């Protein structure tokens, strides 16, 4: 995946079939789908791949137990199927995760056991494992820090877990390998039009400060919560179509949940679901659902959201989590369809996706979940074909292996396990150059070879790209990420031939971002 090569192709291509704006789950999936159906495709991402919501999810591949409770059966069926397909197509990034739901009444036990048995049944032959009813003792054995005074037992069920940013990078590589001209740090700053119809995009390469006109038969807007910026480029009068709703996550040490099982709290004080999930040697706790006014790529957690999570989770743990225990806080934004009236809560707004075709021919994707990204992409390209009379061609992604996929899944707890079949190539780098085996940070298993690999093969351009999305240190421990900035910047500057000023700017910008992920006070 070579950025310069792709940008040279962009300048030499007279007209694409499809240009995709946005390199999150929806855009990357759409580009892969389009290219594997034989369409000449390009994708432009304004920042880094997955810089938006797609690196800030709860990392669940799930049908959504909550959506089942809300009666959105079609969404659950669809997502459970997609969960199973992804486990086959990106087995290096998907893990079966057991969840234990503690119950404090016999009626509650029956209610949740029935619901979760149905949930498992709905996944049919792609089931991850059978739901089990647990005794009180077994529940405590599985969740050693659970508040057990009035506990009546628990329900164990299976769902999926993955690494969202790593899947994005692997999807970008898959796109590139299937002929997509793909580049990060390329912002779409305008739409080209002929006779009122969208005929391409104006793209600014923000690293080289160059602007290109790129012609295309169809343009797909996959910009997540920023969808309205593109819709307004198309039609200055366009009304806001979505409202952002934010969800925060707190990351803490495993001493608060020393278990391989996740905790599922079925009903928080405001009637939502809350998870505490082991991930990469830490526990992620989340999430919230709070309407906010304006979208931002790095939204800030609200004080009431932090308190909400701490208050709710502390009711379930014997150990008390305080602010100073939080290693990192990360926040994502959902693009929710604007509610019909101000009193409509966010809980009841559907999370399923929609594909909209504007009178200008611009195709926009809105809503959806990471779990269903492949189906969203399939629907988007089906719509592109039918609305623009492109050559009909069937979707191939149900069985398409994603870059890194292995026949036999590696254990994700191996420090290089999530590279899949790239793992051996990184190990070879270390064998050939011992210095690349040096740790990035003394407390974590990441090594400098991963930085080297990310620059050469994963289009990493900045210290943030590496410490946030190629390896996930910023999300796991923001202080350790901050301490690693200088080492990574020094290595990058040397390898890329950058000067001292570049290095200092990189460190300064990344340290500023880390401060946002560190919970103060």
Shortest Cβ 441–ligand FAD spacing (Å): 26
What mask, x for binding ligand FAD by CB under 6 A, covers residues 99 to 138? ----------------------------------------
Shortest Cβ 376–ligand FAD spacing (Å): 8
Q: How far apart are CA 357 and CA 471, in angstroms?
A: 37
Are 175 and 9 a contacting pair, CB within 8 Å?
A: no
Q: Which is nearer to ligand FAD, 27 or 404 (CB)?
A: 27
Q: Which is nearer to ligand FAD, 57 or 173 (CB)?
A: 57
Shortest Cβ 488–ligand FAD spacing (Å): 22
Contact between 334 and ligand FAD by CB under 6 A: the answer reads yes
Number of residues that bind ligand FAD (CB under 6 A): 35
Q: Is the peptide bond before 360 cis (omega within 30 degrees of 0)?
A: no
Task: Give exposure, 10-40, as e/b (b: 16+ Cβ within 10 Å).
Answer: beeeeebbbbbbbbbbbbbbbbbbbbbbebb
Q: Which is nearer to ligand FAD, 91 or 223 (CB)?
A: 223
Shortest Cβ 492–ligand FAD spacing (Å): 21
For residue 42, which of 65, 23, 62 has the smallest C-alpha distance? 23
How is 209-276 classified by DSSP, letter by letter? TEEEEEEEEEEEE--GGGHHHHHHHH-TTPPP-EEEEEEEEEEE-GGGS-SSSEEEES--TTS--EEE
Shortest Cβ 169–ligand FAD spacing (Å): 12
Residue in the shown chain whose Cβ atom is closest to ligand FAD:
24
Q: Which is nearer to ligand FAD, 276 or 447 (CB)?
A: 276
Q: Which is nearer to ligand FAD, 131 or 288 (CB)?
A: 288
DSSP-derived 3-state class of residue 332 = strand
Shortest Cβ 158–ligand FAD spacing (Å): 15
Shortest Cβ 256–ligand FAD spacing (Å): 20
Q: Which is nearer to ligand FAD, 182 or 333 (CB)?
A: 333
Sites for ligand FAD among residues 20-79 (CB under 6 A): 21-27, 44-47, 51-54, 57-60
User: Using CB under 6 A, which of 247, 301, 404, 420 touches ligand FAD?
Assistant: 247
Shortest Cβ 476–ligand FAD spacing (Å): 16
Q: How far apart are CA 451 and CA 301, in angstroms?
A: 29
Shortest Cβ 426–ligand FAD spacing (Å): 26
Shortest Cβ 414–ligand FAD spacing (Å): 23
For residue 85, which of 337, 396, 338 has the smallest C-alpha distance? 396
Sites for ligand FAD among residues 148-207 (CB under 6 A): 187-188
Q: How far apart are CA 325 and CA 247, in angstroms?
A: 20
Q: Which is nearer to ligand FAD, 48 or 422 (CB)?
A: 48
Q: Which is nearer to ligand FAD, 64 or 102 (CB)?
A: 64
466: exposed, middle or buried (Cβ count in 10 Å: 0-12, 13-18, 19+): buried
Q: How far apart are CA 134 and CA 244, in angstroms?
A: 39
DSSP-derived 3-state class of residue 33 = helix
Sites for ligand FAD among residues 362-381 (CB under 6 A): 368-371
For residue 65, which of 31, 114, 23, 19 has the smallest C-alpha distance? 114
Measured CA to CA in angstroms, residue 169 lies from 120, 165, 350 at distances of 30, 6, 28
Sites for ligand FAD among residues 213-232 (CB under 6 A): 222-226
* Residue 8: other Cβ atoms inside 10 A: 12
Q: Which is nearer to ligand FAD, 21 or 467 (CB)?
A: 21
Q: Which is nearer to ligand FAD, 351 or 403 (CB)?
A: 351
Q: Which is nearer to ligand FAD, 187 or 267 (CB)?
A: 187
Phi, psi torsion values for 146, nearest 5 degrees:
-75, 145
Shortest Cβ 163–ligand FAD spacing (Å): 11
500: exposed, middle or buried (Cβ count in 10 Å: 0-12, 13-18, 19+): exposed
Q: How far apart are CA 268 and CA 308, in angstroms?
A: 9
Phi, psi torsion values for 376, nearest 5 degrees:
-60, -45
Residues engaged in binding ligand FAD (CB under 6 A): 21-27, 44-47, 51-54, 57-60, 187-188, 222-226, 247, 287, 332-334, 368-371
């Amino acid at each position: 995946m070579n950025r310069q090569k792709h940008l040279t192709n962009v300048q030499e291509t007279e007209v694409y079939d499809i240009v995709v704006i946005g390199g999150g789950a929806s855009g990357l999936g759409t580009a892969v789908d389009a290219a594997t159906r034989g369409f000449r495709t390009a994708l432009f991402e304004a920042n880094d791949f997955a810089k938006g919501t797609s690196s800030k999810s709860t990392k669940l591949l799930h049908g959504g137990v909550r959506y089942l409770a809300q009666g959105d059966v079609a969404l659950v069926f669809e997502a459970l199927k997609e969960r199973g397909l992804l486990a086959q197509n990106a087995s290096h990034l998907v893990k079966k995760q057991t969840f234990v739901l503690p119950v404090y009444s016999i009626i509650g036990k029956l209610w949740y056991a029935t619901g979760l048995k149905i949930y498992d049944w709905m996944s049919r032959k792609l089931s991850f494992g059978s739901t089990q009813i647990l005794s009180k003792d077994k529940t405590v054995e599985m969740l050693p820090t659970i508040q057990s005074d009035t506990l009546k037992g628990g329900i164990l069920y299976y769902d999926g877990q993955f690494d969202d940013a790593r899947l994005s990078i692997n999807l970008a590589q898959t796109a590139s390998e299937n002929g997509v001209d793909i580049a990060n740090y390329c912002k779409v700053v305008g739409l080209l039009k002929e006779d009122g119809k969208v005929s391409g995009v104006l793209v600014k390469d923000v690293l080289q400060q160059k602007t290109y006109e790129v012609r295309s038969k169809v343009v797909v807007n996959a910009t997540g919560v920023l969808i309205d910026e593109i819709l307004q480029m198309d039609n200055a009068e366009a009304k806001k179509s979505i409202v952002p709703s934010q969800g925060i996550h707190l990351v803490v040490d495993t001493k608060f949940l020393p278990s391989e099982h996740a905790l599922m709290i079925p009903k928080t004080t405001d009637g939502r679901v809350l998870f505490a999930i082991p991930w990469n040697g830490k526990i992620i706790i989340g999430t919230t659902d709070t309407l906010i006014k304006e979208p931002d790529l790095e939204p800030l957690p609200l004080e009431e959201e932090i308190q909400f999570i701490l208050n709710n989770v502390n009711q379930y743990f014997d150990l008390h989590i305080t602010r100073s225990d939080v290693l990192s806080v990360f926040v994502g934004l959902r693009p929710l369809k604007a509610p019909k009236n101000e009193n409509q809560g966010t809980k009841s707004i559907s999370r399923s996706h929609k594909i909209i075709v504007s009178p200008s021919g611009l195709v926009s994707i809105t809503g959806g979940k990471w779990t269903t990204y492949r189906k969203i992409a399939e629907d988007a390209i089906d719509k592109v074909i039918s609305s623009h009379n492109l050559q009909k061609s069937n979707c191939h992604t149900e069985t398409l292996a994603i870059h890194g996929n292995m026949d036999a899944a590696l254990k994700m707890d191996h420090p290089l396990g999530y590279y899949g079949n790239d793992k051996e190539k990184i190990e070879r780098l270390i064998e050939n150059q011992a210095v690349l085996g040096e740790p990035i940070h003394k407390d974590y298993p990441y090594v400098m070879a991963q930085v080297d690999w990310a620059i050469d093969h994963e289009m990493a351009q900045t210290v943030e790209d590496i410490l946030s999305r190629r390896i996930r240190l910023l999300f796991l421990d923001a202080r350790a990420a901050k301490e690693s900035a200088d080492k990574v910047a020094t290595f990058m500057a040397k390898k890329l031939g950058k000067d001292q000023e570049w290095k200092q700017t990189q460190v300064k910008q990344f340290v500023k971002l880390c401060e946002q992920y560190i919970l103060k006070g």
